[in-house]
Structure 1
Amino acid sequence: MVEPSGKSNELADRLRAFMAQHVYPNEQRYHEEAERLGPWAIYPVVEELKPLARAAGLWNLFLPIAEVETGLSNVDYAPLCEIMGRSLFAPEIFNCSAPDTGNMETILRYGTPAQQERWLRPLLAGDIRSAFAMTEPEVASSDATNIDSSIVRDGDHYVVNGRKWYTTNATSPACEIIIFMGRNQPAGDDPYRSQSMILIPRDTPGVRVLRALPVFGFYGVPDRASEVVFENVRVPAGNMLLGEGRGFEIAQGRLGPGRIHHCMRLIGLSERILERMCRRADRRNAFGRQLAEQTVTLERIAQARVMIDQARLLTMNAAWRMDTVGNKEARREIAMIKVAAPAMAQQVIDWAIQMFGGGGTSNDHLLTAAFATARLLRLADGPDEVHRNQIARLEIRRHRGTDPAATGGAAEVLSVAEVERRTAAGAWPRPSGLAG
């Protein structure tokens, strides 16, 4: 397996020290502020820690080396993202949280110089935040060709109409820009050239954030999910990203890194949960024995260790493929980790909840918020079923080009002559007493 560079290892050491000094001691405060202030507020603890992270040189670590000279490869970023993922609120402190990372990469890769100056610069500085509006409540958005929101050209402007939900981060007071995906061509045209992405300032007339959406009862944690209505929203034509009909192209470029970042963070979260399981097993007694001496506990801890390492190796392989052949060619590996990592994390966290008993269902032990995050990510950026279908189709296509003679593949149905030949050679037992 390819190893992270010395630069990545040095950043990882600094990141671990920062987490120990500033992040873990403030987690309880963060959750209390999030619960007390709600999803429409800025959480003071986050804003206090951001300048410390920036001063420590732990800022915008997600930036890809393919786009900026000082950026990191996916292989180098993976262990850093994993460390940040150990805490649900840590990524934002380092300006490495969704959806801002994906939005920044989108504007960096596909935006015009004017768009980058207006929106990318303040996002990179952490002065503002952003939202991504793609999923719709009235259609099956797992099939993005269903997206029915409209983007219609009207002179020097576009008029946008639509209803979106699970628009991450829209309730944040710091959110100033939304990347919106909608249809700009009539139904019946090429479904993969009918969608566009456009930049919509949040304060544009006609943009209404209807409500914060809870994720398994959590408002604002982990991602400020929101429902937003766009009614006759007029934005300048210059706000279009890349050009009309390029929405799917942008989405594939945007979602690949976003998906792998989610998986990296989940591995870190799962590692932390496993640590808690082990400490719990050492400290609790039931039926005259420590939990650590009971077979069911040992089996679950062992299986969790295996599953986490499997997911990490798959993720590192996907990162290496993205670095060496690009996001498009690595789509199979990205789809594989997007299936494997959330399922792994959900199972590990479920075992931890079982081990913690009734307390595991409360908010005291991180487990419920962690479970909500893992379960959410079996849907976000494409549900498991979509990724499995893609993996299978790519696998079938790969083997269509395989020469059976070179790989030991056999014909699906043996000819009569071949059956007779093998029978005569004694390949199969023959009934005694019959002529043959």
Structure 2
Amino acid sequence: MKHRCPFVRPSALALALLLVSGGSLWAQQPPKASPVTDSPKALLPLDELRTFVEVMDRIKTAYVEPIDDKTLLENAIKGMLSNLDPHSAYLEPEAFNDLQESTSGEFGGLGIEVGTEDGFIKVVSPIDDTPASQAGIESGDLIIRIDGQSTKGISLMEAVEKMRGKAGSKIVLTLVREGGQPFDVKLTRAVIKVKSVKAELLESGYGYLRITQFQVNTGEEVAKAITRLKKDNRNKKLDGLVLDLRNNPGGVLQAAVEVADHFLTSGLIVYTKGRIPNSELRFSADSADVSEQVPLVVLINGGSASAAEIVAGALQDHKRALVMGTESFGKGSVQTVLPLNNDRALKLTTALYFTPNGRSIQAQGIVPDIEVAKAKLTRDNSTDGVKEADLAGHLGNGNGGPDRRSSADSAKAKRLQDDDYQLSQALNLLKGLNFTRAK
């Protein structure tokens, strides 16, 4: 399921003290690993080492162009990492710097979280309000060409390098959507400023909270947003809240824990298991409850990955929320970022994370309690017709109520849920829960 970089972020590269853009954990110092071997004294494979040295020597002497030792050794390191799993990588100075900047909420590029599938580059999710989302790129799209060059067989980092560029420069991505015909999308790279949290009232009593990605300060922003929603609701407790995690590619693990903790008063939120001692982590909720136990619906889809799945899984396991939408991405592995010499780093998969009930999300994802597929809403106003209140000389309401003319609906301001079927269904579910609770 379900690396990030300033322009395009390879699925699951987000960081900070503890980070999961696909589950990445940021480590200030490399953890001291316990020796894990198949035998008490594992010996180095001397034959393979001799072969490695021989191959390196043959390349240096026989390759058509001169190549230095440094380049050969760095390529060998990249090869070691690329054959482990899609999320382990050797980060050269520029990529390492991109990774560190990515959690600040501002970076350059297209605004796409990407992964790999069948040898091609796959869009995990477009980020809200970026060139990618504005161009209509969708979760699940396959990027088969970048500026006319095929992506078949190239590594995720290579694809990211091709898509990286100066803000204002142009790029053409050739996409395939749901097995259809290839089509081109022209984009202009930009400095991406990601607002992590958005909130508004859908209507009186019902709030909407959108988390686009998990940054270092997302937990604090969510707490402020919930307080602001209550204030906008005339300082009354909300009747319901929709937490929208659709197309959220993940981010900082600690932020995901803090967000889940805002809705839970006790119990385990997430735990990780790996081969080294530092990879065994457990996070639990405290008794504070910013949400005041407001009825909650969480929206997810195929672009909801990693940290987003941690939140959805924790709230689902504790039966604190109903999860609605479609199955999430399934990125359940944890990466530790280990700084190396010369401003380089190693991003290594070191653990899997599990929901409170012990579910591993890796390659499976979160299954919603209520499946609601994405659909387009259209409103038919042609049947409104003429009402009694539109007729000249009509009688007034006997009880003194105001006239309700047929034009009243057209004067209403457009609401967020009017064009979002999944969101409108989440709102209806919250209303239904409140109705049955009041019975």
Tell me the TM-score range normalised by the shorter chain. Answer: under 0.3
Q: Report the TM-score when normalising by structure 1.
A: 0.24
Q: RCO (CA 8 Å, sep 6+): is it higher in 1 or 2? A: 2
Q: Report the TM-score when normalising by structure 2.
A: 0.24
User: Hey, which of these two has a bigger chunk of strand by percent?
Assistant: 2
User: Hey, which of these two has a bigger chunk of helix by percent?
Assistant: 1
